[in-house]
Amino acid sequence: MKPFFLFCLLICFSSGKVTANNNAPTSAPKEIEFLHWWTSKGEVAAFNLVKDALLQAGVSLLDQPIPGGGGDTAMSILQARAIAGTPPDIVQLEGPSIQSWAALGFLHELEQVAKDENWHDNLLPVAQQVNQYQQRYVAIPIAIHRLNWMWINQKVLRQYGLAVPESWDALIDVFERLKKNGVEPLALGKDQWQVALLFENLAFGYGGADYYQRAFIQMDPAVLNSDTTHEILHRFRAISRLVKPGMSHMRWDEGTQLLIEGERAFQISGDWVLGDLLASHAKVPTDIACYPAPSRHPGFIYNMDSFALFNSPRTDEMTAAVVSKTLSSPEFLKTFNRVKGALPARSDIKLNGFNSCSINAKKDMETAAKTGQMIPSIVDSMAVSPIAQQATSSEIYRYFNDETMKPDDFILHLQNIPRGE
């Protein structure tokens, strides 16, 4: 280690405080391995900002991107590596899995940086709750994504004289009209999580936050077995009949490209789509508009990206502190989230310079938090255990694809999913 870097570490840490190093260190950077699932244009652009910020602080990243939106494949690889005793040093994680990894003793505690940087006062409440285990921080809160977005190619809609749909029935009607004109309505790939996310949008939009919580998070049999669920499933079937013939094995970001090109009219997905639209220089919202997915009560479905440091010889105390300090700074979170299309996990960051879709998302998030309409995504790993999440998504996927599956079968299968940790 060259003298400058060593000097900085000694000075910065001797007071128990970590100071981000804005000058490029003169020593060879320390290398750590980073596992994540950011492989689309916008995601790569955002990840490069992580790399740059850490390099500035004297840490270089050995990048391990695992393709597969939603992170299912990345999480399987993480489990396999952890079992083999060779987990990566730093990992993109979401929701309750942070607590599970912490409970197993894998995660580095970040309590000192959290105290020094006053995370308690500066993080959004949801970021505080998600990133702690037994009241101690074990992950770095990065981004809040809104999942109930409807991205629309305005030109296509205008071409056929169609208004922006404000209800799910109006959306189905618009889909039918587009199909009659030979236009594929929805950018949707055959991945299970893409289909399950569409259902989540429909269930929340049609039933509202209270219904959604009780039916799909608490699995209350009476709420699950209600007319509302039947009405939702009826609409889900109608959508599946309209969009299935045009579906392929495309990734979500390939879908976004088709949306930009006017080959699809809509995409219903999280605001990582915005990251890709921006990286592709699409005009947002003039050409590609963002509207909340139809909803009876305005609301906000969220997931959250966090980074967790796994215990390893490379993630010693000082490296962990430098990494968490750098990646939780307001400057980094602002630059990163503007590119990622998401909202910063801190509450003390102004959104000047952000796209208007993000600015609207923040307003909607604040309203939803006050009115009890802000809810965690089941499909994107925020609300239930990974086992319950997989089982729920798999039943949704089956229902979408299998016309012979009746609503009562779906409801019964969901009722039988154990909700435990």
Residues interacting with ligand BGC, by CB under 6 A? 37, 43, 69-71, 94, 145, 272, 303, 305, 380
- Compute the distance between CA of residue 309 and CA of residue 139 in angstroms, rounded to an integer: 7
Which CB atom, from 57 or from 339, has the smaller least distance to ligand BGC?
339
Provide the token pair at 390: 């997989």
- Compute the distance between CA of residue 363 and CA of residue 71 in angstroms, rounded to an integer: 28
- Compute the distance between CA of residue 229 and CA of residue 225 in angstroms, rounded to an integer: 7
DSSP state of 123: B
| Distance in Å, CB of 57 to ligand BGC, minimum | 22
Which amino acid, residue 291? Y
Q: At what angle do helices 227-243 and 168-180 cross, to 10 degrees?
A: 20
| Distance in Å, CB of 82 to ligand BGC, minimum | 19
What Rg do the C-alpha atoms of the chain give, in angstroms?
A: 22
Which CB atom, from 43 or from 184, has the smaller least distance to ligand BGC?
43
Which CB atom, from 71 or from 255, has the smaller least distance to ligand BGC?
71
Block residue for tokens 């890709």: 276
Signed CA dihedral, 374, 380, 386, 388: sign only: positive
Signed CA dihedral, 124, 126, 129, 132: sign only: negative
- Compute the distance between CA of residue 250 and CA of residue 248 in angstroms, rounded to an integer: 5
| Distance in Å, CB of 277 to ligand BGC, minimum | 13
Which CB atom, from 132 or from 377, has the smaller least distance to ligand BGC?
377
- Compute the distance between CA of residue 215 and CA of residue 237 in angstroms, rounded to an integer: 19
Using left for φ > 0, alpha for ψ between -120 and 50, and beta otherwise, residue 384 falls in beta
Block residue for tokens 């309203």: 367
- Compute the distance between CA of residue 292 and CA of residue 15 in angstroms, rounded to an integer: 47
Which CB atom, from 112 or from 303, has the smaller least distance to ligand BGC?
303
Which CB atom, from 112 or from 148, has the smaller least distance to ligand BGC?
148
| Distance in Å, CB of 282 to ligand BGC, minimum | 17
| Distance in Å, CB of 303 to ligand BGC, minimum | 5
Which CB atom, from 303 or from 315, has the smaller least distance to ligand BGC?
303
Signed CA dihedral, 40, 46, 50, 51: sign only: positive
Block residue for tokens 């609207």: 360
Contact between residue 291 and residue 271 where contact means Cβ atoms under 8 Å apart: no
Which CB atom, from 215 or from 273, has the smaller least distance to ligand BGC?
273
| Distance in Å, CB of 257 to ligand BGC, minimum | 14
| Distance in Å, CB of 146 to ligand BGC, minimum | 11
Which CB atom, from 71 or from 294, has the smaller least distance to ligand BGC?
71
| Distance in Å, CB of 381 to ligand BGC, minimum | 7
Kindly report whether the peptide bond that precedes residue 3 is cis, defined as omega within 30 degrees of 0: no
| Distance in Å, CB of 270 to ligand BGC, minimum | 6
Provide the token pair at 367: 């309203």
Which CB atom, from 46 or from 162, has the smaller least distance to ligand BGC?
46
Signed CA dihedral, 246, 249, 255, 257: sign only: negative
| Distance in Å, CB of 253 to ligand BGC, minimum | 8
